[in-house]
Structure 1
Amino acid sequence: MIPLDTRRLFRAEFPALPDRAAAVRRMVAGHLRDWRLGAIVDHVVLATNELFANAVEHGSSGPADTVTITVSLERFGRELRVEVADGSPVIPVARKPEPTEESGRGLAIVEDLALDWGTEPPDPGVRGKKVWFTLPLVATS
């Protein structure tokens, strides 16, 4: 397990483009492996990918917009928090899509994987919102 006094954080900004999702996944996975958190990489990458896709699809007005990904250790190293910030103030709502629908499951996936998730206002002076989720930490060597 990571020592309780360890503080870790990374933040990166990506163009609000669907083809940047692979770069987001690689970045998140790489940092988690560097932090020796390999046991939760798959869940974190999947949930982050869903929030990034939602931010691109619903939270941006075009390719000039950006999406900011922040990953941090929280609660004295016992919890990982991921935030995805976009420029839209519209708060996402999880819905139950019909079985034949090809989309609309992103927040349900996040809800299933995460310990908790929600939204909050953006940083001061920034428009939009943050959508976040947390996962309990499981360290690996």
Structure 2
Amino acid sequence: MNTQPVDVVEWMLPRHPRSASRARIRLLRQAFEWQIDVESAEIALLLLSELVTNACHHARGPRDRLIGVRLLLSTPTLLRVEVSDASPALPVPRHAAPDEESGRGLELVAALAASWGAHPRGEGWIGKSVWFELALPSPAWPAAVDINS
């Protein structure tokens, strides 16, 4: 069985409030290229935005540290999105009170993703990675269509 991802895309973003929107734009472009269905792409955009926003606001580390984003199309029906930052503190989901304006990001991730988690980055790296996976519907069209068939 092949366990290698079908495709991987990575980029780095500054720890800045605008990075969430920049990440969404890049993910949207990649979702189009990978022919990910609209509903799955919208969910991925929302969840990526939550993770990047968390990395910008909550990651305790030097301000000049970058945020890493990695997209893996593991199979044609599984998308994994990872967000890495310089903080070693793993996220802890909490239940926000109805009158609170924030604090629901990880609840959204848990509710909408097939799975999610966080782990310290590997040896030689600082910080952590927070990830989620989305189950994608079977592609409606084959990746390559031979019009001469």
Q: TM-score, normalised by structure 1?
A: 0.89
Q: Which residue of 1 aligns with 2:79?
A: 80
Identify unmatched segments of 5+ residues in structure 1.
none
1:6 deviates by: 7.1
- SS of structure 1 residue aligned to 2:30: helix
How far apart are the structure 2 equivalents of 1:31 and 1:82?
Answer: 12
Give the letter for the 1:134 counterpart. E
Counterpart for residue 146 of structure 2: none
Number of the residue aligned with 1:101: 100
Partners of 1:71 and 1:12 in 2: CA distance = 9
**Superposition TM-score, scaled by structure 2 size:** 0.85
SS in 2 for 1:45: helix
Q: Which amino acid aligns with 1:81?
A: R
- The answer to whether the 8 A contact 2:90-2:120 is kept is no
The residue identity in structure 2 corresponding to 1:131 is V
Q: Which residue of 1 aligns with 2:90?
A: 91
**Aligned-partner Cα distance in 2 for 1:6–1:98:** 39
Residue of structure 2 in register with 1:130 after alignment: 129
Which residue number in structure 2 is paired with residue 29 of structure 1? 28
Q: Whole-Å Cα distance in 1 between the matches of residues 68 and 17 of structure 2?
A: 14
Find the aligned partners of 2:122 and 2:68 in 1 and give their Cα distance.
11
Return closer, same or farther for 1:100/1:140 CA change in 2, 3 Å cut-off: farther
Q: Secondary structure at the match of 1:18?
A: coil
